[in-house]
Amino acid sequence: MTDAPFIAIVDDEEHVRVALRRLCSACDLNPRTFSSAQQLFDSLDHSRPDCLILDVQMPGFGGLDAQAWLLERGINIPAIIITGRDDEEVRVRAAALGACAYLCKPFDVEVLLRAINEALSAGRRAAAAESVAAR
């Protein structure tokens, strides 16, 4: 078992999943890829990611729909939204859903890694706040 942060990568394009998985692995993260939001949802009973990387455009649930679905169920996982087409309306919706970052493909590796680190930090702060509130 690894202590590395678990990064869930959800994208319907295999080459994107492979590239992001390799990048995360090379940076001592623990990536797991999903070709659909439904695959991610089905896995949540077994493990909870520390960070999500969600593609906007996917068949069925897109990344924003997936984020909304999770939030409606009280599942708050820091998310990074990625997209091949920048759209102001989508950007605004991503922010409204609490996305930690909104990145347009192709994005700079360093920008993505900074976004992952910020999302992980946000998740740790939220967990600490929940722990204090539970006392």
Domain assignment present for 1: no
pLDDT, mean over the chain:
94
Domain count, the chain: 1
Question: What are the phi and psi torsion angles at 82 (to 5°)?
Answer: -120, 145
Please give the model's pTM, rounded to 2 decimal places. Answer: 0.93
pLDDT attached to residue 2: 61
Domain assignment present for 42: yes
CATH assignment at residue 20: 3.40.50.2300
Domain extent, residue 23, equals 6-134
pLDDT, tens digit, 9 for 90 and up, residues 18-53: 999 999 999 999 999 999 999 999 999 999 999 999
Q: Rounded to whole angstroms, how far apart are CA atoms 54 and 48?
A: 15
Domain assignment present for 105: yes
Distances 95 to 5, 29, 88, 116 between C-alpha atoms, Å: 23, 25, 11, 16
Instruction: List helix spans (H) across the chain.
Output: 14-26, 37-43, 63-72, 88-96, 109-134
Domain assignment present for 120: yes
Domain assignment present for 34: yes
pLDDT in tens, the chain (135 residues): 468 999 999 999 999 999 999 999 999 999 999 999 999 999 999 999 999 999 999 998 999 999 999 999 999 999 999 999 999 999 999 999 999 999 999 999 999 999 999 999 998 888 787 767 777
